[in-house]
Amino acid sequence: MLNKLDDYPIHQTPEPIAHPATSDRNVYDRTWFNGYAHDGSYYFGIGMAVYPHRGILDCAFSVVQPEGRQHCFFGSRRAPIERTEMQVGPFRMEVLEPMRRARVTLEDNESGVSCDLTFSARTAAIEEARQTLWSGARRTMDATRWDQFGRWSGWVRHPDGEFKVEEALCHGTKDRSWGVRGVGEPETGGAPRMPGGIMFLWAPLFWDDHITHAIFFDGPRGEALVREGIVAPLYESEAQVPAVEDARDERMATARHRVSYHPGTRLARSAEIDLVNHDGGTRTIALEPILKFQMKGLGYLHPEWGQGMWKGELAVGGESFDPRQIDPLSPHNLHTQQVVRASDGAKTGIGVLEQICIGPYAPAGFTDFLDGAKG
């Protein structure tokens, strides 16, 4: 099973590139983007992933504007052996220049959502620490991720209107991850397992001349499973961006978070993040949400278009919903990103706060699997 990438000196095992190094059925390789206006006037998300042992390639595009509906396109197909083939029906993703520039196009389709967007990097690729989570003796997640901050240009159309995307106004983050994590239809058979819980926060932020990034996984008691804080240079143009990870990246000693929730929900009303350097100095960043995006619009926990679910040889679809009218405690709606204004007392920034909290979580006072914050 050879493909074009086998012509490059990149092999890590004696197998061709199309052969994953693990037989775990949940192995995946994913590209994800977000884009949002500095004033919170729109947000869009993009995702595409291949699941080699499930034989599936799927994708999604979703967009929301304030006081409006969130619109979603979904696509799924049998995975091609050729890994450079990143197209599902009307959706196409192209790497124009690795770690510099990418293009996403979505032609007219039945969902009413379409786009032509180009991402231009403004940071080097930033590797997060390997993320490994366990359920008993089994790894439920074992993944590597790198992020890149940049700008978008192009246009987006949806059933309620359209807008132009300008580099001067539109920030974005690229997220490449691969490894193993829970996707697709759940496994059956064997002894029943108690459902597990997790608290996850992810906060990439733009400032005038740098970026900050913080990643958190917590257990039910608030115990730290993953804590990472990063500060890295932000470049004025794509041409200035180094080809590989920048030696000027600064890795914090640790990071901390505090979240205040809307009563009766698990949605952040506000948050604070502490970046703690190796001398113990702490930079506290306050986050104020201004626009909410439901991650189910990209397949996360979606009951019909969940990631890695077999939909047939080729399937496309879409949906629109009002984010203000959904049940915030439905399992399908717990995973969100919010565009946030950021402030550290001296500087202001813009970014997103991604969050999901499922199951009991002592720091927030959650005692059941899906209870909300007390008023």
The dihedral through the CA atoms of 366, 367, 370, 375 has a sign that is negative
pLDDT in tens, the chain (375 residues): 899 999 999 999 999 989 999 999 999 999 999 999 999 999 999 999 999 999 999 999 999 999 999 999 999 999 999 999 999 999 999 999 999 999 999 999 999 999 999 999 999 999 999 999 988 888 889 999 999 999 999 999 999 999 999 999 999 999 999 999 989 888 788 887 777 789 999 999 999 999 999 999 999 999 999 999 999 999 999 999 997 777 789 999 999 999 999 999 999 999 999 999 999 999 999 999 999 999 999 999 999 999 999 999 999 999 999 999 999 999 999 999 999 999 999 999 999 999 999 999 999 999 999 999 997
218 touches 132 (CB < 8 A): no
Most distant CA pair in the chain: distance in Å? 60
Give CA–CA dist 247/120, Å, rounded. 20
Contacts of 233 (CB under 8 A, 6+ apart): 123, 124, 209, 210, 211, 246, 248, 249
* Alpha carbons within 13 A on the beta-carbon side of 145: 22
Q: What are the tokens at 335?
A: 């995973």
pLDDT of residue 197: 86
Instruction: Specify the amino acid at residue 218.
Output: D
Other CB atoms within 10 Å distance of the CB of residue 359: 17
pLDDT of residue 216: 98
Residue closest to 293 by CA, chosen among 32, 43, 31: 43
pLDDT of residue 314: 98
117 touches 152 (CB < 8 A): yes
Residue closest to 229 by CA, chosen among 211, 245, 244, 207: 211
DSSP letter string, 309-320: ----SEEEEEEE
Give CA–CA dist 200/263, Å, rounded. 19
Backbone angles phi, psi at 239, to 5 degrees: -65, -25
- In the beta sheet, which residues pair with residue 253? none
pLDDT of residue 188: 82
CATH number of 26-181+197-364: 2.40.370.10
276 touches 228 (CB < 8 A): no
pLDDT of residue 139: 86
Q: What are the tokens at 192?
A: 């029943």
Other CB atoms within 10 Å distance of the CB of residue 149: 25
